[in-house]
Structure 1
Amino acid sequence: MTRIRQKNQQLIIEVASEQFALQGYAATKMVDIAKAADIAKANVFYYFSSKDKLYYAVLQTVTQPLLEASRPIEELTDPVEALSQYIQAKLRISQEHPYASKVFANEVMSGAKVLPEDIAQELFKQSQMIIDKFATWSQQGLMDDVPPHHLMFSIWAATQTYADFGWQICNVMQKDQLDDNDYRQAAEFLTQLIIKGCGVKSNGH
């Protein structure tokens, strides 16, 4: 892929993310995306032949990082380090992909009617892996006997809220937008909250 093609595709995806987040899938038209990106409508269709394909590309910008974020849970043997890296990765997604995160949240809240089946299946497999790992840590005495489903849901809620409810958070903090230090503090606080609240222990490896 040429640099110009990649740059144009990225611009369209970024603009589409904002349009889908603010207006929803049904109300967003390709011509609106073209105008917002200051690109001819024909060029938008050149890169993405349909709204469905563009919507899929937008979802991928957040679902792929979401899938990659759980790698520490899957690969690391130390629960403390794994949870720390997972929480940091989840918050990084909220910081770097706020509109795409909102699009994903809106899709889920509407019943995931347009969410592609392959993405849904990958996310489901990831969830099962995380739940199994949490249960294993509890069985090994590396974490309190906590409900693994609800621990996972709590981490999702605590991290994704920084994107999905960004306006409310910024309003409370009286900021136009959160900065790197805000996300660093959030990561440190949420990590300690989970580790201490769930009795997570390092296995010393």
Structure 2
Amino acid sequence: MSTARRKPSRIQKENRKRILDAALGLFAEQGFRGTTLDQIADACGMHKPNLIYYYKNKEAIHVDLLNTLMAEWLSPLDQMNPDGDPLDEIMSYIHRKMEMSRLYPRESRLFANEIVQGAPRMRPYLESTLKPLFDKQCAVLRQWMQDGKLAQMHPEHLIFSIWAVTQHYADFETQIAVLMPEDHQRRRDADEFVENMFVKLLTP
């Protein structure tokens, strides 16, 4: 008798997506502790027993969201090509991070909340996946700097600075909207400012 697990049906995939999308909004706004399974069930239009069929508890939902987010979040950093033009590679990474901050503000806040709380559910992922990738790309940056292709600076803190600047536009979106009311030029100005700042910083 085969023990292979059946692939989820289309309806099962759709229900999981409903659950995750509802939970994402709640976790991003209220944090992990402030969100309940009952709230998630209400938000996705399911009865709680039906939700538990897919996820046994809210931690399972939270971890699924974070794992999916991290895979997406790390992809641009992973794509930085050591054989490419250094400035082009870094600016491409920064542009993608700015784009992600606009497209995925809830996901960014979800991750920020997890880190602020000490990464109780994500620490193993950070240690096993983010740390090796971070070290690898810092080595690439360091080599470019040694070759005179980039200005000399601390590679690790360069990446931290890129994260801090780009994710600010997601994590503090509400504050930005108050200080700079929405207009068609605001995002374009942000992209131009961030690009100019890092180009000047990185050019030898």
Same fold (TM over 0.5): yes
Q: How far does residue 76 in structure 1 lie from its aligned partner after superposition?
A: 4.7
1:65 and 2:72 equivalent? Answer: yes
Q: How far does residue 61 in structure 1 lie from its aligned partner after superposition?
A: 3.2
Alignment equivalent of 1:100, drawn from 107, 114, 122: 107
1:89 and 2:92 equivalent? Answer: no
When normalised by structure 2's length, the TM-score is 0.86
1:9-158, aligned counterparts within 5 Å?
Answer: 9-158=16-165
When normalised by structure 1's length, the TM-score is 0.86
Q: Which moved more, 1:17-26 or 1:185-194?
A: 185-194
Q: Which runs of 5+ in 2 are unaligned?
A: 1-7
Q: Distance in 2 between matches of 1:101 and 1:130?
A: 21
Alignment equivalent of 2:15, drawn from 3, 8, 12: 8
Q: Which runs of 5+ in 1 are unaligned?
A: 201-205
User: CA distance change for structure 1 residues 108 and 72 in 2, over 3 Å: closer, same or farther?
Assistant: same
Q: How far does residue 163 in structure 1 lie from its aligned partner after superposition?
A: 1.1
Q: How far does residue 35 in structure 1 lie from its aligned partner after superposition?
A: 0.8
Q: Distance in 2 between matches of 1:7 and 1:75?
A: 39
Work out the number of aligned pairs and report it. 197
Q: Which moved more, 1:68-77 or 1:157-166?
A: 68-77
Q: Residue 147 of structure 1 aligns to which amino acid in structure 2?
A: H
- Tell me the SS of whatever aligns to 1:70: helix
C-alpha contact 2:22 2:44 (8 A) present in aligned 1: yes
Q: Which moved more, 1:49-58 or 1:111-120?
A: 111-120
Q: Percent identity?
A: 31
Q: Distance in 1 between matches of 2:117 and 2:80?
A: 29
Q: Distance in 2 between matches of 1:116 and 1:150?
A: 20
Q: Residue 16 of structure 1 aligns to which amino acid in structure 2?
A: A
